[in-house]
Amino acid sequence: MSENSTTDLFNMSKPDGEKYNELVRQLAVLGIKNPSICFQCAKCTSGCEAMKLLELQPHSIMASAKSGFIDEILESDLIWACVGCYKCKERCPQEMSPVEVMFVIKNWYVSSGKSLPGDYQKILQGIITKGYIQDPLEVLDRENKSWNRDLLGLPQIKRPKDMKSFASAISQLATEKL
């Protein structure tokens, strides 16, 4: 990719050929074809669950990836909205995989030492400290009476027995994967 000829006039950024090549290489390891094959039919976005909640547009992620504006994706909070349902990969008429493009880039983001944006950091912290994204909440009913799982007769949720080794195992797994 000859990147120097093009400039994004909104933020004066240029396509990053090296990152693009690295993305293509890592996707190839996963058995996924070059994003440049994508012809922008937007079928992925039509079915995207995260689109409905947070306006994630996988086809536009693919377009940015194709043109080499990888940093733009890397800095975007939106890719963290992907719920990993894989519908985009399943339905793509060109056998692309926006979900995995985002996974690769999310991995880069974390391995560069940056912390996850906003609430996603809390989710990660929750998993490492409690074993859950968050503790089951108590809720109020119409009479302002507080209910929890015990009062409702629901079984206790199992937690990891040894929270410390669970946390280190998770962290190790995450870093190894990266």
Partner 1 sequence: MDKIAVFLCHCGDNIAATVDIKKLKEELSKDGDLLVKDHMFLCSEAGQQMILDTLDENKGIDRVVIASCSPKHHWNIFKDCIKQRLNAYMWEMANIREQCSWVHSNKEEATKKALALIRGAIGKVKHHKPIGTIEIHVNRNILVVGAGIAGMHASLELADKGFHVYLVEKEASIGGNMTRLGRTFPTDDCSMCTVSPIMNKVNSHPNIELLTLSEVVETSGRPGDYKVVVEIRPRYVNPDKCTGCGLCTEKCPISIPSKYNLGLDKTKAIHIPFDSCVPNIAVIESDVCLKLTKNRCGICEKVCPAGAIEYDQKPQRRELNVGAIIVATGYKQMDLYNTEYNYEHPDVITGLELERMIVPSGPTGGKIVCPSDGRVPKTVTFIQCAGSRDRRYKEYCSNICCMYSVKNAKIVRAKIPGATINMCYIDIRAPGRRYEEYYKTFRENDIKMIMGRPSEIMETPDGKLYFDVFDKATNKLLRIYSDLIVLATALEPSEGTRKMAEILHLQYGMDKFLSPLHVKIAPVDTTTEGIYIAGTAEGPKSIQDSITDAGTAASRAATILKDDSTTIDLTTAVIDPARCTKCGLCIEACNYHAISIEGEDYTVIDMACKGCGKCVSICPEGAIEIRHLTGAQLRAQVDSILESDPDSVIAYTTETCGYNAADIAGTSRMEYPPVVKIVKLPCVGRLSVADILYPFEKGAKGVMIFACPEGLCHYIDGTEAAKEKYEKAKEILKEKGMDAERLRFIEILTPDGQKFQKVCKDIAEYIC
The smaller minimum CB distance to partner 1, of residues 51 and 109, is found at 51
Binding-site member from 11, 52, 113, 145 for partner 1 (CB under 8 A): 52
Judged by CB under 8 A, the stretch of 2-10, 43-51, 117-125, 145-153 that binds partner 1 is 43-51
Let me know if 99 is exposed, middle or buried by CB neighbors in 10 A (0-12, 13-18, 19+).
buried
The smaller minimum CB distance to partner 1, of residues 39 and 132, is found at 39
Q: Is 47 in the site for partner 1 (CB under 8 A)?
A: yes
Q: Is 39 in the site for partner 1 (CB under 8 A)?
A: yes
Nearest of 42, 56, 26 to residue 94 by alpha carbon: 42
The angle that helices 118-130 and 163-177 make with each other, rounded to 10 degrees, is 130
The smaller minimum CB distance to partner 1, of residues 31 and 113, is found at 31
The smaller minimum CB distance to partner 1, of residues 63 and 167, is found at 63
Instruction: Spell out, one character per residue from 83 to 122, where the chain touches partner 1: x when CB under 8 A holds, - when not.
Output: ----x---x-xxx---------------------------
Alpha-carbon distance of 143 to 78, in angstroms, equals 39
The smaller minimum CB distance to partner 1, of residues 59 and 106, is found at 59
Size of the site for partner 1 (CB under 8 A): 19
Q: Is 158 in the site for partner 1 (CB under 8 A)?
A: no
Alpha-carbon distance of 77 to 73, in angstroms, equals 8
What is the binding site for partner 1 (CB under 8 A)? 39-48, 51-52, 57, 59, 87, 91, 93-95
